[in-house]
Each structure stands twice: as C-alpha cells, then as structure tokens.
Amino acid sequence: MVRFLFMAATVNVNGRTFDQEHAAISVFDHGFLYGEGVYETLRTYNGQPFLFDRHMRRLRTSAGMLALSVPLTDAQIDARFRETMRAAGLGDAPDREAYIRILVTRGIGELTYDPVACPTPSIVVIVKPNVDPAAEVFERGVKVALVPIVRNHPGSVNPLIKSNNLLNNALAMQEAFRRGGFEGIMRNYRGELAECTQSNVFIVKNGVALTPPIDAGLLPGITRAFLFEVGAEAGIDVREAVLKDDDLFGADESFLTSTTREVVPIVQVDDRKIGSGVPGRVTRALLNGYRVKARALTARQPTVL
C-alpha cells in the first residue's frame, strides 16, 4: 500500500516565500527545541480555504493555551495563504486544490523555558497540492488498529491544543502502521474511546451517528463539528456519546473524519469486521452530504455585470 506521496511544497517563512529546499527555520526556535507551537491544516475547495474562520478560531484557542500570541490578523493570514498558493500555482483551477498548513511557534530564543526569551513567534505556511485519499478508501473502507497508546490526559498536554508536539499521535500511528492500519484509534485514560491519531472517530448504531464528547479528551475536529450540521440537513441524528470498545465492535458502521480525509468508512478494526464489513448507508450519506455542502459553501459567485 502507498502510505504517502511526495509532493513538492512552497513555504512562507515569516513573510518570505521559498521553495521547499530553501525553506528553513533556526534550530534555536523553541518550536524545534521544545515542540512549543501550534498548527492548523486546511484544504481548499473551489480554491477557497475551507472553513477558514473556524480554523483561525481554533488556532488562536490552541495558541492561547500555550500563552502564545498569533501576531497576525485573520485577514493577514488569509493574504499569506493566498500569496503562498499563488507562488505554488495552486487554488486557481478545479484540479489544483491546495493543502495548507500553518504553524505558529514560540520563536527563536535562549535555551530556557521562559517565554520572555522569545519575543517574536515564527509563522510558517506550507502549501502543497491537495491529494485526496485513493477512491478505494471511500468505496471499500479501511482497516484501522485500536492501539494501546493512551491519548494524552487533558491535565497533561491537553488534546484540545492542536500542538506541534505530536509524539503522542506519532507513537500511536507507528503502532497502527505496524498492524497494517490506515489509522489508529486511541482510548483516553479512563479507557473510553477518544479519537484517532489524525482524525476523529464515529460509530453508527440504529441509524444514529455517535462520537465521543470533547471531555473524553480529544481534538475538537472542524470536520467533526461540521458533520453535525451535515447530519441535521440530511435528517441523520449525529450526537456525542461516551463510547467503549464494545460499542465499536458492536457498531453497525464506523467512520473517521478529518479535513484532508473528509469521511472515511472504517470496515475493520484489527482482525474484527465492523457491521457487514462494507461502507454503510449512514456513512455514505454523510460523506456525500459533506462533499456537496463543502462545494456549495465555496462556490464562486457568478460575476454580476
């Protein structure tokens, strides 16, 4: 299985745009030294960064939880995205949708945890061609692993923070790779299901889509939240519920959500089939509703003459 594709990136580092070979950041940046920083991943539909305002709100919330300032307005960040997309030749045609990642780190400073040592945060924008998962991922569904790595305790590095410090996620995903999983589902410290390493998890039981509540200790996914709205429009009940292993294994359907993967059916967890082992009706309806709504919200308005 192809696990990733190499795609050349265009990178804006503190306002200057580089090709990927020349994009660099100091080793004294506390993002590198201590993992002190936050990020967001967006993608475009119709060339527009999708749900931009929600991503900016979450970026500022994450940064606030590290007492890190984001010294640009949303309009300035939007301009930086568009400038980097233009330099990358992306976002201007249906076959040139962009993947956009913004990182804000503590910045360069002495070897101390004292934030005063770093007066200027670093801001990096990475733009690459958006690559959708293969069609068969959506058509046939995927196998995931239920991994033993516990999701960070909210009293430790709170999963609410979309942090550049991704060791918890990376370790869990390494285990998922070892087991041939497309993703890894993590439990929280209470043993309840929390989320996947790079996406949120849902199950479907008796026609209702259920996902763990935020206080299970997980990232409040933008796609997860958007799916509540998609469900409401499609007449599908989408709710939060505390979920355990048995709920997953006894589910009629399951799926995961993220910005870059939209809604991916889960048909197997380790060696156990979920439901009938093929993407279910509710999952397919939510995926379709998601795509239709994403395209409609980003459709360019016709020019009025």
Ligand X SMILES: Cc1ncc(COP(=O)(O)O)c(C=O)c1O
Calpha distance 200→186 (Å, rounded): 10
Q: To the nearest whole angstrom, how small is the minimum distance from the Cβ of residue 190 to ligand X? A: 18
- Would you give the binding string for ligand X spanning residues 35-74, x where CB under 6 A is met? ------x---------------------------------
Binding segment toward ligand X, per CB under 6 A, in 64-72, 99-107, 196-204, 297-305: 196-204
- State whether residue 168 is helix, strand or coil: helix
- Of 122, 257, 268, 283, the residue at the interface with ligand X (CB under 6 A) is 257
Q: Which of 259, 267, 268, 283 binds ligand X (CB under 6 A)?
A: 259
- Site residue total, ligand X (CB under 6 A): 14
Residues of span 145-174 touching ligand X by CB under 6 A: 169
- Applying CB under 6 A, among 222, 230, 236, 269 the residue interacting with ligand X is 222
Of these, 122, 199, 211, 283, which contacts ligand X (CB under 6 A)?
199
Query: How would you classify the pairing of strands 272-273 and 208-211?
Result: unpaired
CB of 117 to ligand X, least distance (A): 28
Nearer to ligand X, 17 or 197 (CB): 197
The answer to whether 134 and 141 have CB atoms below 8 angstroms apart is no
Q: Could you say whether residue 219 binds ligand X (CB under 6 A)?
A: yes
Per the DSSP assignment, residues forming a β-bridge with 127 are: 10, 100
Q: How far is 79 from 164, CA to CA, in rounded Å? A: 23
Q: Which of 10, 62, 105, 223 binds ligand X (CB under 6 A)?
A: 223
Burial 36-68 (b: 16+ CB within 10 A, else e): bbbbbbbbbbbbbbbbbebbbebbbebbeebeb
- By the 10 Å C-beta count (0-12 exposed, 13-18 middle, 19+ buried), 200 is classed as buried
CA atoms within 13 A on the CB side of 180: 7
Nearest residue to 88 via CA among 8, 5, 4: 8
Query: Which range in 106-114, 119-127, 171-179, 191-199 contacts ligand X by CB under 6 A?
Result: 191-199
98 binds ligand X (CB under 6 A): no
Q: Does 224 bind ligand X (CB under 6 A)?
A: yes
d(CA 227, CA 232): 8
Closest CA to 198 of 187, 209, 186: 186
By CB under 6 A, which span of 27-35, 95-103, 217-225, 265-273 interacts with ligand X?
217-225
Stretch in the footprint of ligand X (CB under 6 A) among 126-134, 220-228, 269-277, 279-287: 220-228
CB 204 within 8 A of CB 280: yes
Determine the interface stretch with ligand X among 107-115, 141-149, 192-200, 283-291 (rule: CB under 6 A).
192-200
Given the rule CB under 6 A, which of 21-29, 83-91, 253-261, 290-298 is the region that contacts ligand X? 253-261
Neighbours of 176 (CB within 10 A): 24
Residues that bind ligand X (CB under 6 A): 41, 169, 195, 198-200, 219, 221-224, 257-259
